[in-house]
Amino acid sequence: MLTMGEALATNGRRYRDKVALWYDDVKVTYSELDRRVNQASRVLQSLGVGKGDHVALLLMNSIEYVELYFACGRIGAVAVPINLRLAPAEMAYVLGHSDSRVLVGDGQLLAAAFEAGMRPQGGALEKVLRVGPGADFLPAYESLRDAQSDDPVSVDVDENDPWVLVYTSGTTGKPKGALRSHRSNLMIALLLAAEFGITSDDIGLSLLPMFHVNGLWLVSLSLCLGTTMSIYHQRTFHPVRVIEEIKRHRATYSMFVPSLLTFLADAAEKGDLDPGQLRLMITSSSPLSTTLRDRIVQDFPNTHLIDIYGATELGAVTWIRHGPGSVIGSIGLPALAQDVRIFGDDGREVGVDEVGELHCAGPTLMDGYYKDPEATAAAFHGLYLAVGDLAHRTRDGYIYLVDRKTDMIITMGENVYPTEVEEVLTQHPSVALAAVVGLHDDRRGEEVVAVVSPREGQTVTPEELQDLCAKLLADYKRPRRILVWPELPIGATGKVLRRAVREQLSPS
């Protein structure tokens, strides 16, 4: 039996003087981190937090974020990471729905949220602590932590107990909280390490926000394996600073989203980044275009480019390693220990090359949606969780996404899948990002509309893109309108927000 708290305690002894976390100029060894987690655990206990209680975290990536995650795990509490991009009312919903008793937040973020009118919905919240400057009327977490003993705490925590409650993006309604156990998160870390060959000799870089599952899992993986994890310390992504951090820390692996990979390709082509430094690039959260994939493969010939397809509720579902001659357009094969099935509308598994909804079962599966048995029941097909994407499987076992089930466009009785159209648009060398949505049309049912943003310093016209689509797409798939915007709305995890694009095009 192994829990997150035990995993860190083990490495506190095994890698005692090795740097575990590196944040700006601050380095924390494994033994120091283990002691800080003990102190953080005692802070939470002093506030009345016990096993099964929920602790909300509204924090920037930081050492404090990591120690609070593991402190919750050590005392059997449940960490509730809050998306920093949420509006105050949405934050209040998560706080209330999650029944969080304590909120620990970045001082500046808390001040801004309170000023904007954030008020938790429900009466569970009892205490708020701040990290760093701002909201000076709140108790400082750091002072409380430093005053605590670093002796180990003693709480009986089981591997099947919940560790984190992660809320989905809520693109189809109110956010749902996926409740995940110690075991499921540890299995994600160990399975990914086994698949990709990450060892304690590697150096990771935490770029993605830790409130998102991809950022959380990268940190979990690194600290469970005994690697050194450096944390990007800026509040916003600056391409130049990202490259500086990669070089400064000699990072050998990290997890990216496609928009960040574009920066790496640009840096390598300009000679600003040694292509041999990064041994492993993991990408996830949105499809990787063939154009960008080919740039990375060409510019980083000795780097493993791994594209993960996963979900908040499951972790990695499938993955594929990109390289010269690799399969094009596929999300790959099932990840280690994952049982992936494709079911049709009749509930039966579809045949080869038939489209159905992707489902998965395995050791990394969530326990369920918090306080939502109906949604939990609806998401499962027996032991298999619906991932929410339409897909088909070829005879050789490779799985291809057709699109998000909820994003499918129906025009003149034909189904149009946005990802397929976006893939064509991003083949244009001047296009950085693309979003395709369906808008109401009295005659067609829905009209296919595309919005693109150009690469830095380049221009592109709708006419050029229409010509490209005319060459590569059936007529009903071609956008009726193509707009060029300076930039597209990007979510906290780096994905283009189709919903936000749709709202801007049709605000009513």
Is residue 287's pLDDT more than 80?
no
- One-letter identity of residue 255: M
Global pTM? 0.84
Task: Give how many domains the chain has, as a whole number.
Answer: 3
pLDDT of residue 495: 79
How many whole angstroms separate alpha carbon 202 and alpha carbon 196?
Answer: 12
Q: How many alpha carbons fall within 13 Å on the CB side of residue 350?
A: 21
* H-helix or E-strand spanning residue 191: helix 182-196
Establish if 218 belongs to a structural domain: no
Percent of the chain with pLDDT strictly greater than 90 = 72
Residue 190 CB: number of other CB atoms within 10 A? Answer: 20
Residues 371 and 256 in one domain: yes
Q: What is the CATH number of the domain that holds 339?
A: 3.40.50.12780
| Alpha-carbon Rg for the chain in angstroms | 23
Bridge partners, 400 (sequence order): 392
- What's the gap between Cα 426 and its chain centre? 22
Residues 70 and 137 in one domain: yes
Is residue 313's pLDDT more than 50?
yes
Torsion angle of alpha carbons 202, 208, 213, 214, nearest 10°? -50
Contact 411, 421 (CB under 8 A): no
Residues 43 and 89 in one domain: yes
Residues 388 and 413 in one domain: no
Residues 33 and 91 in one domain: yes
Residues 162 and 294 in one domain: no
Q: Which residues contact 124 (CB under 8 A, 6 or more apart)?
A: 54, 96, 99, 100, 101
How many whole angstroms separate alpha carbon 496 and alpha carbon 329?
Answer: 19
The per-residue pLDDT for range 376-423, each reduced to its tens digit, is: 999 999 999 998 889 999 999 999 988 767 787 888 767 788 888 998
Residues 156 and 110 in one domain: yes
Residues 390 and 371 in one domain: yes
Residue ending a domain, among 357, 389, 404, is 404
pLDDT of residue 172: 45
Establish if 315 belongs to a structural domain: yes
Establish if 360 belongs to a structural domain: yes
Is residue 479's pLDDT more than 50?
yes
Q: What is the CATH number of the domain that holds 443?
A: 3.30.300.30
pLDDT of residue 493: 66
Torsion angle of alpha carbons 402, 384, 179, 166, nearest 10°? -10
Which residue stretches of 98-150 are H helix? 107-115, 141-146
Q: Tell me the average pLDDT across 301-323.
A: 93
The per-residue pLDDT for range 72-102, each reduced to its tens digit, is: 999 999 999 998 877 787 888 899 999 999 9
Q: Which residues contact 331 (CB under 8 A, 6 or more apart)?
A: 307, 309, 317, 318, 319, 320, 391, 399, 400, 401
User: Which residue range is the domain that position 384 belongs to?
Assistant: 237-404
pLDDT of residue 405: 73
Q: How far is CA 302 from CA 82, 305, 326, in A?
A: 37, 9, 15
More confident site: 387 or 442: 387
CA neighbor of 399 nearest in space, from 336, 338, 341: 341
Residues 382 and 463 in one domain: no
Establish if 352 belongs to a structural domain: yes
- What's the gap between Cα 8 and its chain centre? 22
Residues 152 and 100 in one domain: yes
Q: Are strands 228-231 and 203-206 parallel, antiparallel or unpaired?
A: parallel
- One-letter identity of residue 148: Q
Residues 394 and 418 in one domain: no
How many whole angstroms separate alpha carbon 15 and alpha carbon 338?
Answer: 31
How many whole angstroms separate alpha carbon 119 and alpha carbon 234?
Answer: 28
Q: Which residues contact 130 (CB under 8 A, 6 or more apart)?
A: 104, 105, 106, 107, 110, 136, 138, 139, 140, 141
How many whole angstroms separate alpha carbon 52 and alpha carbon 244?
Answer: 41
Residues 340 and 259 in one domain: yes
Per the prediction, the chain carries an average pLDDT of 91
Residue ending a domain, among 162, 180, 198, is 180
Q: For 133-147, 254-268, 369-383, 488-502, which range has the lowest pLDDT when averaged over its residues?
A: 488-502
